[in-house]
Structure 1
Amino acid sequence: MSKFRILNISLISILLFINCQKEEGNVSNSETINTAMALTQRLLPNNYTSFDFKIDSSSTNKDYFELESQDGKIIITGNNGIALSSGLDWYLKTYCQSDISLNSHQISLPTPLPTVEKTRIDTPFDYRYFFNYCTYGYTMPWWDWERWEQMIDYMALKGVNMPLAMIGQEAVWVEVFKELGMTDEQIGSFFVGPAHLPWGWMGNIDGMGGPLPDSWIQKRKELQIKILNRMRSLGMKPVLQAFTGHVPEALKELYPEANIFQIEDWAGVDGTYFLDPTDSLFQTIGTAFIKKQTEIYGTDHLYDADCFIEVNPPSKDPKFLAQVSHNVYESMAKADPEAIWVLQGWFFFFKKDFWTKERGRAFLNGIPKNKVIVLDLYGEKNPTWDKTDAFYGQPWIWNVICNEDQKVNMSGDLTAMQDQFQLAFNSEIKNNLKGIGVIPEGLGYNSIIQDFIFEKTWDQNKVNIEEWISNYATRRYGIENKDAQNAWQILGKTVYNRTRTMWSPLITTPRLMIFEEGSKEDERHVRKDFKITEETPFAWDFDVTEFSKAADLILKASDVLKDKESYNFDVTNIYRELIAGLTHKMINDLSVAYQAKEKEKFEVASTALLKMLDDLDAITGTNENFLLGKWLDDARNWGNNKEEKDYFEWNARTIVTIWQPYPEGGLRDYAGKQWNGLFAGYYKPRWELFISHLRKSLLQNIDFNPKTYDKEVREMDYKWTKSNDKYPAEITGNAVEVAKRLQKEYESYFKE
C-alpha cells in the first residue's frame, strides 16, 4: 500500500473521529486514557510512566477519582478525563508537595513516589466553570496553540469541565451574515478589533478597532477546532455562543420591516443595534447561527447568550421580559433540542434597580425549567442568589470574579470567599446549586485564588485559613521554609484580605491628589476618602508597612529558594506590589509641595516619584509575566505581513492604555497594567509632562492650565498607541538581586 494511500486513510480516520466527537459529544475510554497520559507526559516528562489510568464506565453519578498504589505505580481511576487529571493533581499536591499554577509550576517528585492507600474523592458539583468574556480580551487574545494547550492542561488538573470557549465565532457570523445578504464591507464594519472582541460579543460596541483581517478569522477558526477537540477529549463540555439579538446596523436596510432598535450608550460609545427577540427574524438568525456553529465546531449543547449584560431592556413589562427569554431560548432549541442556556447573572447586580423580583422571575421563568444555568458572578462580595430566591428555581453556579480588567496586583479575600461559599453551599446544594467556578476578567497574578476555589470542587469543608496558607507556601516552593510560610501568613492578612482593590493613580492620567468640590474628574483618579496621616501613611486598602515585612521575609528565603520558578515569580510580584504601595504617598508629597509652592520640596518629590517608576520598570522586567514587549510580540505573531503585524500591535497597545482607539475615549487607563515597558515607555513620560507643567506654574508664578495639559497628554497617549517602539520581550534582570536593591533603597519608608 502506498504512503499516499496510508496517509489518506489516516486522515479520513482522524476526520471521522473528530466528526464523531462533534455529533456524539463523547470519546472512547482508550482515547480518554491516552489523552490523560499525554497530559501527564507533558507535565512530568521524566516520571509519567509511574502513573496508570483507569476509566470506570459504570459510574453514573457525580464525578470522582480514586487513588491507589500498586506495584510501584500510582493508579488513578475516574469516570472521565477531568476526573483522572484531577486525581493526578490531587496526588501531586497532597502527597508530593507540588504546585501547578497559571504562572509557574513547582514539581519536585520524591523517589520513590509516596504510596497511598485506596482513597476515593467525589464532587457534588455537576459543573466547574471557568473564564469570563473579558478574559479573552485582557489576557488571552494573542495566545497560540502551545499556550492554550498549557491552559487546557491546567483546567483539567483543577477539575474544570465547563469552560467558556468563545474563540472563532467570527467565522460563523461571516457565513450567517452572508446568507442574510450582507456584503464583506458591511460585515467588516461590524466586527471589532481582536482584543476588543469580548465587548463586541457582549453587544457593547460595533466596529471599534476593526475591520478584522481575513487571516485572523481563518486562524482563529483553526485554533478553536484544536481547542475544542482537546477539551472534549478530556471530558469537558465547552460553552459556545448563541444569538443575543446584537446585529449590524446595516441589517436595518436589508430587513426594513424588522424591529431593530438602538440601545443606550455604553461607556460613552454610541449604542449598538439589537433585534427584538419577539421579531420572527430573531428566530431565523438565532437558529441559523447555532446550526452553522455546530457544523463547524460541534456542540455540547451549552450556549452563552447575554442580552442585557450592562444595559436595560427596552421595556419593564414582565410579560415582555418573559417573552424575550422564551424567544431567545427557542432560537437555540429549534436548532438544538438539547440546548441549555448559560446566562451570566451579572445584570441582576449591575442593574439591580431595574431587575425587581417580579421582572427577574418573569425573565427566568420564561425559560423552560432546567434549560438554563445562571452564573452568579460576584459570589465573594456581591452575590445575587440570595436576592433572587436562588434565581427563582433555575439551576445556578456560584463563582468568584476576584480580578477585574486583569489588574496586576495581589488581591482576593480568602476569608470572604470561604464564608460566602459556605453560606451558598450549605443553603443550596440540596436545591438548585449545581456548580462552582472562577470568572476573572484577567488571569495570571493571583493563582492562590484559583487554587483555593477549585479545591472546593473536591473538598467543601471549611478550612483554617492560616493552616491552608502555610500548606500552600510549602507546596508553592516544595520546601517547608519558615520564612516563606511567615511571609505568606502576612500576605494572607494584608493583600489577600481585600476583595476589590483601589485604582492606582500612578498608572492613570497624572493628577494631583487634592481636588476642588464638584470635580468632574473620572472616578478612577479621585480618592474621596484619601488622606495621608501618621496613622495611614500610605492610604491604601491594605497595611503597606505590614506587607513590607512579608517582602523582607520572602527575601530571607532566597538562598534556599532562588532557583524555584514559582519563588522568582513571587519575588517579582511582591516587590512590585510593595513599591507600588508608595504611590499615594509619593503623589501626595508632590501635590502638597506644589500647592504650598515649595519649589525645593517639589523637586525632591518629583525625583522620588520618577525614580519609583524606574524601579517598578526594573522589578517587573525580571519575570516574563510582566513584560509589555512579550504582549506586543505575541500580538505581532498573528500577522502574515507587516501591515497585519502593525495592526495587531496597535490593537494590543490600545486595549492596555486608552482602550477606546481615539484621543477622547472614556475608558482610558481602565485596563492599565503594571508591566515592564509601560512604566518606562508610557507612564513615566506622562508624569514627566505633568511635572513640567507644574514646574512651569511654580517658576513663572502662573496658574496650572488643565485644558492645555489634558490636550497634550491625550495626544501623547494616542500617539503612543500608533508607535512601534520596541520593549524587552525577555527578562532584563534577576528578581532577587533587583528586589534586594529595592529593599535597601526603600527600607526607610516602612520603618514603624
Structure 2
Amino acid sequence: MQLKKIIAALLLGTAGLPAFAQIDKAATDAFLKRVVKDRAAAFTCEYLPADNGKDVFEIESNGNRIVLRGNNGVSVASALNYYLRNYCNSIITWNGTNLHLPAVLPVVKEKEHHVTPYKYRYYINYCTFQYSMAWWNRERWQQEIDWMAMNGINMPLALTGEEAIWQEVYKEMGFTDAELDKFFSGPAYFSWLWMGNIDAWGGPLPQHWKDSHKALQQKILAAERSMGMLPILPAFTGHVPPAFKDKYPNEIVKPTNWDAGFPDVYILDPNSPMFDKIGKKFLEAQTKAFGTDHFYSADTFNENVPPSSDSSFLDAMSRKVYASMAAADPKAVWVMQGWMFHYNASYWHQPQIRALLNAVPDDHMIVLDLYSESHPEWKNTQAYYGKPWIWNMLHNFGGNTGMWGLMDAAAHDPATALHDPASGKMSGIGLTPEGIEQNPALYQLMIDNVWRDQPINVDTWLQSYAKQRYGVENEAVNKAWQILYHTVYIGGPTEGAPESIIVARPTLDIAAERVKTKLEYDPAKVVPAWDLFISAAAQVKPTAGFKYDLVDVTRQVLGNYASPLQQRVATAYRNKDLAAFKQYSTQFLGLLDDMDMLLGTQEGFLLGKWVSDARSNGITPAEQDLYEFNAKDLVTLWGDKDSPVHEYSNRQWNGLIKGFYKPRWQQFFTLLEASLKKGETADLKAFEEQVKAFEWKWANGHDKYAAKPQGDPVKAAVQLHKKYRKMM
C-alpha cells in the first residue's frame, strides 16, 4: 500500500509547490546508483535555487566527494554529466558508453556554476515512439529517462498507454470491442493513428497490450516527474473511430485521407457539441490515470490538408481544440507541432497560420518549430505571431541509419536564434528526430547547447567528444572526425540521410522510390576517415563507442561503394556483356554478405534484436506473431504489399540485408541474367509483382535472426578494409 501511495503522489504532481522547486532525494540517489553504480557514495546531491527562474547546476569538491547541486533532478543529473565528461573523459550515449572512473576522482579546483538560457528543453517526435521506442520495456525507458536528465531535457513527449484511455472513453460511449478493433492500429503504427493519418493497420490490438502499457506509462511518468520533468500528454484532435459516423449519424463527421495507400479516416467537426464532450472526457480519464503537468500535444492537421482554407474555419477549429482542453484543465497549455507549416506549405500561408495560432491565448500555447536546422518556419511567421516557441533539430526520417547531418547548424543556430531580436518568445530548444540511436555525435553536439548561450566551436568540440568517447586523445581519430565533419556532416537539401542503393527495391537506375542515393559530398573523401579509424584500432583500447563508430564508418563507406558497383551491373546489362554482368552482380551480392556480417557485431544494427523485443511484448503465440509482423512491416513495406511508402523506414541492419534486401537483388539478377542468355528484354513489370509477393511473405514470416551480436567488430572492420580499400 505504501508503494502505491508513493506512485500516486508522483503521478499527481506536487500540488502547492512551484515548478522546478525541489529535488526528490530518493530519485537522485537511485539515479546515481544506476549511472555510477558502486561509486555513487563519492557524490553528494544538494539543492540550489533557480537562477532568476532558470535551471542551474553547480559542481564542487568537498573533501574526497564531488558535490552536485541543482534546482531539480534534471539539473543535478546535468551536473553529474558535466563532471563525468569534463573531468573523467567519460560519456554516456545511445550508441556506446565509456564510463571508467579513476580510483580517486578528479578534484574540481574551483566551483563551476552553469545556467541554461532555455526554459524548456523538449524531446521526442510522435514518430520516435514507433521507429525506435515501439518495443521498449521499463528498463529501456529508465535508461532513456536517465539520458534525458543528464542532457538537460525537461519536457518529454509522453504518449505510451494512450490507447487504454481511449478504450475507456469510447466504451463508456457505447462502442464495442469489435468497433474499436477497426480503429486501434498495431503497436508499430500508433503515431499515425494518434496523428489522424490511419486506422487499424497492424491490428487488432490485444487487450494485454493496452493494460500493460497503461501500467508502463504510469512508471514512465513517475520516473520523469521524480527528476523534475514536465511530460507532455496527448489531447483530442477530432479523429474518431470509423463506427462513429454510424453511431452518431447527426454529428458532422468528415472523411480525410493521408494519401499514403490507406483508407479514409474520420474527423469530428469542431462545431459539434460532441467535440468538447469527448475532449473533456478524454482528459479527465487521462488525468485520473496519469496525472497532469498541464501540457498537451494536439495536431489537428498533421500531413492532412484541412477541408477549408477559410481563416474563420481555422480560427474556430483552434478555439474548439483548446476549449476541449481547458474544459478539463483550465491551466492547459497546447503544445503544437509546427511540422504542417513546412509539410503543406502550399496550404499554410500567413493568414491561415495566424488564424490557427491567434485563436489561443499566448500563454496557453507553445509551438514546436520542428525542423529548425533546415526549415526554420519561425522566420516565415514572425516568430509564430507572439507565441512561445521551441527551436528543434529534426534530422532523422524513418529511423534510417546513414551518417548525415548539419553539424554547423546544430552548433550555431540555436544560440544565433536566441539572440536574434526577431525570434520573439523563443523559449527553448529540443530534439525531434523520427528515429534515434544513430549519429550519436550530431545529437550530442546539438544537446550540448542546453547549458550555453553562445555558438559551439565544432573543431574543438569534436576533439573533446572523441576523447570522452574513446577515453584517450588520439591524433588519428581527431583527423577522422574532421573528415567526417566536412563530408557526411555538411548536410544537404535532402530530408534525412542519403541512402545506399542496397536498401532499394531492385532497379537498374541509380536511385529508387523512397531511396535517395545522391550524396552532397565526394564519397572518396570519406575513405581516408575509414583508414584513420582502422589505424586507430591498433592504438586505442576499443571502447563501446569506438567499436560502434568503427562499424558505422565502415558501413557508410561500403554502402556508398554499393552505388557505383550497382551501376557497373546496370552498364554491363545494357551493353549485353554477360561476363561483366556476372562478375559485378556477384561482387554486389558479396558486398551485401560482408555488410551483413559486419553489422552483426553490433547490437544497434540487429534486425533480430528489433524482432525479439517486439515478440517479448506478447503473452500468446498469436500476440507475438502480430508484433513480429508489425516490427518487420514497419521497416520494409510500411503497409500492404502495394504500399506506396515502402522503404521509408529502411535500415542497414544485419538480418535485414541478408534476409530481405539480398534475396530481392538475387531474384533481380537471376531475371536479368536469364534475359541476357535468351537475348530477350527482361519483364520488369512481372518482376515487380514477383518481388512484392516475396516482400509480403517475408513480412508475415518467422525466419530467425540473431538477437545478440556475433563476432569481433574490430576484426571484421579490419578484414573488410583489407578486402575493399584497394577497390576505392
Return the offset for 1:626: 0.4
Of 283, 287, 292, 1:294 maps to 287
The residue number in structure 2 matching 1:524 is: 514
Pairing partner for 1:78 from 55, 70, 73: 70
**What letter corresponds to residue 598 of structure 1 in structure 2?**
D
Q: 1:130-162 CA deviation, whole Å, 9 max, x = no partner? A: 111111111110111111110000000000000
In the other structure, the counterpart of 2:497 is 501
Aligned pair partner of 2:526 in 523, 547, 550: 547
1:294 deviates by 0.3
Is 1:371 matched up with 2:364? Answer: yes
Instruction: Give the corresponding residue for 2:350.
Output: 357
- Equivalent runs, 1:108-507 vs 2, <5 Å: 108-116=100-108, 117-428=110-421, 431-499=424-492, 500-507=496-503
The structural deviation recorded for 1:13 is 3.8
1:217 Cα shift?
A: 0.6
Q: Which amino acid aligns with 2:376?
A: P
> How far, CA to CA, are the matches of 2:56 and 2:574 in structure 1?
65
Judged with a 3 Å threshold, the aligned counterparts in structure 2 of structure 1 residues 704 and 254 are, in CA distance, closer, same or farther, namely: same
Is residue 664 of structure 2 the alignment partner of residue 674 of structure 1? no
Rounded to whole Å, the distance in 1 between the matches of 2:79 and 2:7 is 31
Aligned equivalents of 1:161, 1:28: Cα separation in 2: 10
- Alignment partners' CA distance in 2, 1:438 and 1:270: 31
Report if the CA contact (8 A) 2:59-2:67 is conserved. yes
Cα displacement (A) at 1:18: 3.7
Code of the residue aligned with 1:75 in structure 2: it is V
Give yes or no for the alignment of 1:14 onto 2:10: no
1:553-632 pair list within 5 angstroms: 553-632=532-611
Separation in 2, partners of 1:473, 1:20: 42
For the residue of structure 1 that corresponds to 2:328, the secondary structure is coil
- The amino acid across from 2:333 in the alignment is I
Query: Structure 1 vs Structure 2: percent identity of aligned residues?
Result: 39
Partner SS for 1:746: helix
Q: SS in structure 1 opposite 2:646?
A: coil
Letter of the 1:584 counterpart: S
In 2: Cα distance, 1:27 partner to 1:513 partner? 57
Alignment partners' CA distance in 1, 2:206 and 2:102: 50
Paired residue secondary structure (2:296): strand
* Contact kept? 1:23, 1:299, Cα under 8 Å: no
Contact 2:534-2:718 within 8 A present in 1 as well:
yes
Deviation at residue 113 of structure 1 after TM alignment: 1.7
Is the 2:7–2:222 contact (alpha carbons within 8 Å) kept by the matching residues of 1?
Answer: no
3-state SS of 1:120 partner: strand
Q: Distance in 2 between matches of 1:225 and 1:12?
A: 11
> Retained in 1: the 8 A contact 2:126–2:434?
yes
Hey, what does 2:620 align to over in structure 1? 641
Provide the residue aligned with 1:531 in structure 2.
none
1:416 deviates by 2.6
Aligned to 1:530: none
- Residues of 2 paired with 1:163 and 1:526: CA distance? 31
Question: Does the C-alpha gap of structure 1 residues 567 and 58 become closer, same or farther in structure 2, counting only changes over 3 Å?
Answer: closer
For the residues of structure 2 that align with 1:344 and 1:556, how far apart are their CA atoms? Answer: 45
Indicate the residue corresponding to 1:48 in structure 2. Answer: 40
CA shift digits 1:526-581 (9 cap, x unpaired):
77xxxxxxxxxxx6333222211111111212134344111111111111111101
Preserved CA contact (<8 Å) 1:322 1:363: yes
Residue 477 of structure 2 aligns with an amino acid whose one-letter code is: A
Aligned equivalents of 1:463, 1:328: Cα separation in 2: 39
Q: Distance in 2 between matches of 1:695 and 1:12?
A: 67
Mapped contact 2:115–2:451 kept (Cα < 8 A)? yes
Q: Which of 712, 715, 732 matches 2:690?
A: 712
| 8 Å CA contact 1:589, 1:605 repeated in 2 | yes
Partner SS, residue 648 of structure 2 = coil
Aligned with 2:215: secondary structure? helix
Q: Distance in 2 between matches of 1:420 and 1:30?
A: 32
Runs of 5+ consecutive residues of structure 1 not aligned to the other structure: 1-7, 516-521, 528-538
TM-superposed CA distance for 1:487, in Å, is 1.2
- The farther-off stretch of 424-433 and 84-93 is 424-433
Q: In 1, Cα distance between the equivalents of 2:128 and 2:715?
A: 33
Q: Give, in angstroms, the shift of residue 81 of structure 1.
A: 0.6
Cα deviation, residue 605, structure 1: 0.9
**Counterparts of 2:342 and 2:618, CA distance in 1:** 40
Please tell me the residue identity of whatever aligns with 2:654.
Answer: N
- Alpha-carbon distance in 2 for matches of 1:35, 1:721: 42
- 1:27-47 Cα offsets, whole Å, 9 max, x none, are 998861221221111111131
The 3 A distance-change label for structure 1 pair 624 and 26 is farther
Q: 1:429 to 1:473 in 2, by over 3 A?
A: farther
Q: In the alignment, what sits opposite 1:747?
A: 725
Distance 2:42 2:439 in 1: 31
Task: Classify the secondary structure of the residue corresponding to 1:581.
Answer: helix
SS of equivalent to 1:665: coil
Tell me the amino acid that sits aligned with residue 621 of structure 2: K
Deviation at 1:464, TM superposition (A): 2.2
CA gap 1:644/1:264 in 2 versus in 1, 3 angstroms: closer
Q: How much does 1:11 deviate?
A: 4.0
The one-letter amino acid paired with 1:176 is V
Cα drift, residue 300 of structure 1: 0.5
Q: How far apart in 2 are the matches of 1:239 and 1:114?
A: 38
Q: CA deviation at 1:320?
A: 1.2
What are the superposed Cα offsets for residues 225-256 of structure 1, whole Å, 9 maximum, x if unpaired? Answer: 00000000000001100001001110111111
Distance 1:22 1:165, change over 3 A: farther
Shift of 1:266: 2.6
How far apart in 2 are the matches of 1:568 and 1:470?
18
Secondary structure at the residue paired with 1:62?
Answer: coil
Q: Distance in 2 between matches of 1:552 and 1:58?
A: 48
Q: CA deviation at 1:24?
A: 6.4
Question: How far apart, CA to CA, are the structure 2 residues paired with 1:138 and 1:684?
Answer: 23
> What's the counterpart of residue 734 of structure 1?
712
**Alpha-carbon separation, structure 1, partners of 2:379 and 2:100:** 44
Q: Secondary structure at the match of 2:514?
A: helix
What is the SS of the residue equivalent to 1:501?
A: coil
8 Å Cα contact 1:487-1:553 kept in structure 2 = yes
Aligned residues of 1:26 and 1:235 also touching (Cα < 8 A): no
Task: Mark the CA change 1:259 to 1:23 in structure 2 (over 3 Å): closer, same or farther.
Answer: farther
Contact 2:279/2:324 (CA < 8 Å) preserved in 1?
yes
Write the letter of the residue equivalent to 2:83: Y
Q: Distance in 1 between matches of 2:376 and 2:19?
A: 37
Could you list the per-position Cα deviations for residues 307-355 of structure 1 after superposition, in whole angstroms to 9, with x for gaps in the alignment? 1111111111111111111110000000000000000001111111111
Q: 1:566 to 1:387 in 2, by over 3 A?
A: same
Q: Which position in structure 2 is the counterpart of 1:101?
A: 93
- Secondary structure at the aligned position of 1:75 is classed as strand
Contact persistence 1:594–1:602 (CA under 8 A): yes
Give the letter for the 1:280 counterpart. Answer: P
Residue 410 of structure 1 and its aligned partner are, at CA, apart by 1.2
In the superposition, relative to structure 1, how do residues 12 and 736 fare at CA in structure 2: closer, same or farther (>3 Å)?
Answer: closer
Give the Å deviation of 1:468. Answer: 1.2
> Paired residues, what number?
724
Q: Partners in 1 of 2:544 and 2:50 — Cα distance? A: 41
Give, as a single letter, the amino acid of the residue that structure 2 aligns with 1:229. A
Task: Tell me, yes or no, if the aligned pair for 2:402 and 2:498 is still in contact at 8 Å.
Answer: no
SS in structure 2 of the partner of residue 408 of structure 1: coil
Amino acid at match of 2:613: D
Give the superposition deviation at 1:422. 3.6
For residue 15 of structure 1, report the CA deviation from its aligned partner: 5.0
Inter-CA distance 74–604: structure 2 relative to 1 (3 Å threshold): same
